[in-house]
Amino acid sequence: MHTKQPVEVDASKGYEQSDLPMRDIRIGMIGLVVMAVFGIIATPPIMRFIDKNSVGPKKAEHYELRTLPVEPNPALQDNATNHTDTVNLRRREHERMTTEGIDPQTGRRYIPIDQALAEEAARSGR
């Protein structure tokens, strides 16, 4: 009911029968728009305060911190090639865990995991 005059309330329905005032709806919508604009404007300075590298152009030293993973770990990539690299990594790890040999980089001897567990159990007396 769009009226500023007092209206008799019919309490038999269990609720107040009246319309929402358009003025309050307009104020709410304006407030919502103002908050959205403020959020868009205030977010970059707040993020810059929290983390200097999160917003804006990146400095050269920021990129130097990011290095590729050392072999044999796979580099980060898209879904097209990551499956193949993961399969190859697992194959190399499985070969390393089930065969005997000498690591050419470190010169250390490696043995199958089953043999290593058996030797450790024998050495500890279990």
Give tens-digit pLDDT for 101-126: 888 888 888 899 889 899 999 998 86
80 and 58 in a common domain: no
What is the predicted pLDDT for the residue at 33? Answer: 97
**How many domains does the chain fold into?**
2
Contact 112, 100 (CB under 8 A): yes
Whether pLDDT at 61 is above 90? no
How many CA atoms within 13 Å lie on the side-chain side of 122? 6
20: Cβ contacts below 8 Å, ≥ 6 apart: none
51 and 34 in a common domain: yes
In a domain? residue 46: yes
Place of tokens 């709806």: 25
In a domain? residue 3: no
In a domain? residue 6: no
Alpha carbon of residue 52 to chain centroid: 19
Give the end of a domain, one of 63, 83, 103.
63
In a domain? residue 2: no
In a domain? residue 90: yes
Confidence of residue 41 (pLDDT cuts 50, 70, 90): very high
In a domain? residue 116: yes
By residue range, what is the domain housing residue 51? 15-63
40 and 19 in a common domain: yes
The dihedral sign for the CA sequence 116, 110, 108, 66: negative
